[in-house]
Amino acid sequence: MVSVWEYPARETKGLPARVIDRAEALYTIPLKPGVRSLNLATTVGFFMGLALARLP
């Protein structure tokens, strides 16, 4: 399994194709027009919220 931490992404280009091709799952966060990226803390919070919402 490849770790995304081994392949830092540029905001304008995203992850390299070799990482995406080996991924088990891909998730995206919809952004408003004009927003380039979210910081790491915001992104982690977003996915933690999704994970917690799925708990019984």
What pLDDT, in 10s, does the model give residues 6-42? Answer: 556 566 677 778 878 888 888 888 888 988 777 878 8
* Cα distances (angstroms) measured from residue 8 to each of 3, 5, 11, 40: 10, 6, 10, 12
The pair of three-digit structure tokens given for residue 20, joined into one six-digit string: 């995406």
Does residue 45 have a pLDDT over 70? yes
User: Do 4 and 19 touch, CB atoms closer than 8 A?
Assistant: yes
Residue predicted with more confidence, 29 or 52: 52
Domain count, the chain: 1
Q: What does the pLDDT read at residue 9?
A: 59
What is the extent of the structural domain holding 33? 4-53
